[in-house]
């Protein structure tokens, strides 16, 4: 397909898309997109929504300000939440309560503060930008006996009571399966796992088990960059009605989430993924997960 036709197809698929992995800043180390130009670019592209997230602090107050001012009359849905990393007190029910009462829709389990993330990134942590920060005590959602920690009970209650999304963060699959089962027992119905192989070491069997639970699985540009076959492998293990395409972290200050999302769509087209299926993964599925559209799928 000629380049101009590919670009036109990408433009078409972006209309109505919802980006679940829009990492925005500012951040104390590394790179993150500025939320205002990011939201403007999404609006101008005809996208339906953005989920703004940040490893270090909740983006919900930022989203509230954007909604009240420049995006007060916009059709672009701005969504946010809180990641339960060390910088907000870890598995902190007060941080969750504050966020969902302000309108936050997603609660991420630990990401950069997860024990599992430390194991995956221990080399980078010795030499990378995180060395500029105070060493942190990393977190697991399981206790020493392998049980879901008691402090997660009231967090599950808040997520269920506000019909919010529970995202697995950077946990290992050995934590994610019991976490999601315990959350379902407490009434949580919206479950999300991002980049299942890159962070969580999930096997095809694990992915099928999660699929049976109705979990949505997202793949970002980070996974595709690490393994160009990751999208095809995910499509072989999980029904497309439960897969979401999202931008993920931006590699430099010159990149934006929209650039990353365009690259993912281009990759899908190059892999001969049907345009209708791409639209489901870009638009329909994230809308269903967030409760922005009627859920008529498997979840």
Domain ranges of the chain: 3-290
* Mean pLDDT in residue range 140-165: 98
Taking only the tens place, the pLDDT of each residue in 198-216 is 889 999 999 999 999 999 9
- Crossing angle of helices 173-185 and 152-161, rounded to 10°: 60
- SS3 of residue 227 by DSSP: coil
Verdict on whether the full-model pTM lies above 0.85? yes
Q: Give CA–CA dist 261/199, Å, rounded.
A: 20
- SS3 of residue 243 by DSSP: strand
In 220-251, which positions are buried (b, 16+ CB within 10 angstroms) versus exposed (e)? bbbbbbeeeebbebbbebbebbbbbbbbbbbe
In this model, does residue 60 exceed pLDDT 80? yes
**C-alpha 169: how far from its chain's center?**
8
Considering the four listed CATH numbers 3.40.190.10, 3.40.50.720, 1.20.1090.10, 3.20.20.140, the one that applies to the domain covering 3-290 is 3.20.20.140
Q: Give CA–CA dist 38/51, Å, rounded.
A: 11
In this model, does residue 242 exceed pLDDT 80? yes
In this model, does residue 123 exceed pLDDT 60? no
Assess whether the previous peptide bond of 26 is cis (omega < 30° from 0): yes
- At 136 the pLDDT is 78
Question: Residue 279: pLDDT band by 50, 70, 90 thresholds?
Answer: very high
**C-alpha 48: how far from its chain's center?**
16
């Amino acid at each position: 397909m000629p380049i101009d036709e590919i670009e036109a197809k990408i433009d078409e698929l972006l209309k109505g898309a919802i980006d679940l992995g829009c990492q925005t800043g500012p951040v104390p180390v590394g790179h993150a997109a500025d939320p205002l130009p990011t939201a403007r670019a999404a609006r101008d592209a005809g996208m339906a929504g953005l989920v703004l997230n940040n490893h270090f602090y909740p983006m919900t107050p930022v989203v509230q300000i954007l909604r009240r001012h420049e995006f007060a009359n916009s059709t672009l849905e701005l969504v946010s939440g809180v990641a339960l990393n060390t910088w907000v007190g870890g598995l902190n029910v007060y941080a969750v309560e504050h966020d969902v009462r302000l309108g936050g829709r997603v609660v991420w389990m630990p990401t950069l503060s997860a024990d599992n993330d430390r194991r995956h990134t221990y080399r980078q942590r010795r030499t990378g930008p995180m060395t500029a920060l105070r060493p942190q005590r990393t977190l697991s959602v399981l206790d020493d006996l392998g049980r879901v920690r008691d402090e997660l009970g009231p967090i599950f209650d808040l997520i269920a009571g506000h019909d919010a999304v529970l995202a697995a963060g950077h946990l290992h699959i050995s934590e994610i399966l019991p976490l999601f089962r315990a959350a379902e027992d407490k009434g949580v119905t919206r479950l999300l796992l991002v980049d299942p192989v890159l962070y969580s070491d999930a096997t095809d069997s694990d992915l099928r088990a999660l699929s049976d639970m109705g979990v949505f699985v997202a793949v970002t540009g980070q996974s595709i960059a690490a393994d160009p076959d990751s999208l095809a492998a995910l499509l072989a293990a999980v029904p497309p009605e439960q897969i979401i395409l999202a931008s993920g972290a931006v590699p430099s200050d010159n990149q934006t989430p929209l650039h990353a999302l365009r690259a993912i769509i281009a990759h899908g087209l190059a892999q001969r993924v049907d345009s209708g299926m791409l639209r489901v993964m870009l638009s329909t599925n994230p809308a269903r997960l967030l409760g922005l559209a009627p859920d008529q799928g498997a979840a």
